[in-house]
Amino acid sequence: MSQWYPVLLNMSSHRCVVMGGGPVAERKVRGLLEAGAQIRLISPTITSQLQQMVKDGDIEYCAREAVDTDLDDATLVFIATNQSTVNQDMAVKARSRGVLVNVAEESTSGDFIVPATLRRGNLVMAVSASGEGPALASRIIGELAEQYGPEYEHLIDILGEIRTIVKREVSDANERHNLLRAAVTEDALREWSEAAHLDDTEQLLARLRQRAYEEKG
Ligand SMILES: C[C@@]1(CC(=O)O)C2=NC(=C\c3[nH]c(c(CCC(=O)O)c3CC(=O)O)Cc3[nH]c(c(CC(=O)O)c3CCC(=O)O)/C=C3\N/C(=C\2)[C@@H](CCC(=O)O)[C@]3(C)CC(=O)O)/[C@H]1CCC(=O)O
Ligand SMILES: NC(=O)c1ccc[n+]([C@@H]2O[C@H](COP(=O)([O-])OP(=O)(O)OC[C@H]3O[C@@H](n4cnc5c(N)ncnc54)[C@H](O)[C@@H]3O)[C@@H](O)[C@H]2O)c1
């Protein structure tokens, strides 16, 4: 059994602190930026890509070693220095303050780990091997990337609109459930990518009912 519990956090208004400025910290910063988090990076040295992000104003940067007070107003802390004593010391301090912490060098010193992730707009896929095989998680995400191409970014938006219409128009919970399931088959997705009937509610519902009926039969 894995003790890790997967969630999607709304990071849009949360401050994250990243300690360390190497490739591992850079990966964490990229993932956080994709979720719109506010990031403060603390490290005496940083990669050229991180330097560019600082220049572009994407992240706040303190060019020094991390200190305890850096933990103060953070929702999440990511520790990725190459100093094991610093990593472990900051992890203990963060936990004692109740700040959730990720420790890149050792999964069990922290409160959470970061899964390999694939984003297609609002479709977010995350794979974890619970720290036992990050390379496997990364490989599986690579496979998913081939299976779920960039077209899913648009498709997931169409599906969102279809769902809004169904929720508005269909009051029976059981029927709603059947229609929404019928809306996401591979065949249905192909149809929506060509014509989703979003401006013709009657036509859309008729197509969904037909699909739900066919699936049952
Ligand atoms: C998913 C990903 C996300 C990210 O980092 O953003 C991520 N590691 C990635 C890649 C990767 N990391 C490593 C390799 C080399 C192969 C290997 O060693 O196996 C590769 C493969 C590669 O580079 O392709 C080395 C490594 N990783 C950790 C340690 C320490 C240890 O062993 O505990 C060491 C040894 C360091 C050393 O040698 O000393 C620890 C962690 N790495 C995690 C996440 C967390 C668990 C995730 C999970 O299992 O779900 C955890 C526990 C903590 C954390 O960082 O949250 C990202 C893939 C992104 C992508 O490609 O999509
Ligand atoms: N989770 C993962 O996926 C993964 C993968 C490889 C390695 N690791 C672990 O993550 C650590 C970082 O890896 P890396 O390749 O980015 O290392 P790196 O050596 O390239 O970078 C380390 C960074 O930490 C900074 N640093 C050093 N002391 C500091 C301090 N007191 N306060 C703040 N910053 C400080 C350095 O200036 C440097 O920017 C490794 O030591 C390893 O244990 C994790």
Ligand 2 centre to CA of 105 (Å) is 8
User: What would the pLDDT profile of 19-50 be if each residue is shown by its tens digit?
Assistant: 999 999 999 999 999 999 999 999 999 999 99
Residue 159's H or E segment, with its range, is: helix 151-169
Looking at the CA of residue 30, tell me the nearest atom of ligand 1. Answer: 6
Contact call for residues 109 and 91 (beta carbons, < 8 A): yes
Average pLDDT of the chain is 95
What mean pLDDT is predicted for residues 4-30?
A: 96
Please report, for the chain, how many H helices and E strands are present, in that order: 8, 7
Number of other residues whose CB lies within 10 A of the CB of residue 20: 27
Ligand 1 centre to CA of 45 (Å) is 21
Give the residue whose CA is nearest to atom 22 of ligand 1.
Answer: 135
pLDDT of 183 reads 96
Judge residue 108's burial from the number of C-beta atoms within 10 Å of its C-beta, 0-12 exposed, 13-18 middle, 19 or more buried: exposed
Ligand 2 centre to CA of 140 (Å) is 25
Q: Which DSSP string corresponds to 89-138? A: HHHHHHHHHT-EEEETT-GGGSS----EEEEETTEEEEE--TTS-HHHHH
Contact call for residues 109 and 103 (beta carbons, < 8 A): yes
Our mutation pick for probing the ligand 2 site, out of 61, 81, 106, 130, counting the most ligand atoms within 8 A of Cβ, is 81
Is 84 a residue whose pLDDT tops 80? yes
Give the residue whose CA is nearest to atom 1 of ligand 2.
Answer: 104
* pTM for this prediction: 0.94
Our mutation pick for probing the ligand 1 site, out of 103, 112, 113, 127, counting the most ligand atoms within 8 A of Cβ, is 113
Give the distance between the most distant pair of CA atoms in the chain. 66
Ligand 1 site residues, Cβ closer than 6 angstroms:
27-28, 31, 102, 104-107, 113-116, 128-131, 133-135, 137-138, 141
Contact call for residues 159 and 193 (beta carbons, < 8 A): no
Q: How confident is the model at residue 217 (pLDDT cuts 50, 70, 90)?
A: low
Structure tokens belonging to residue 159 = 């599906």
Task: Give the Cα-Cα-Cα angle 77, 80, 81 (nearest 5 degrees).
Answer: 120
Closest by CA position to 91, among listed 105, 74, 79: 79
Write down the ipTM of this complex. Answer: 0.95
pLDDT of 13 reads 83
User: What would the pLDDT profile of 137-175 be if each residue is shown by its tens digit?
Assistant: 999 999 999 999 999 999 999 999 999 999 999 999 999
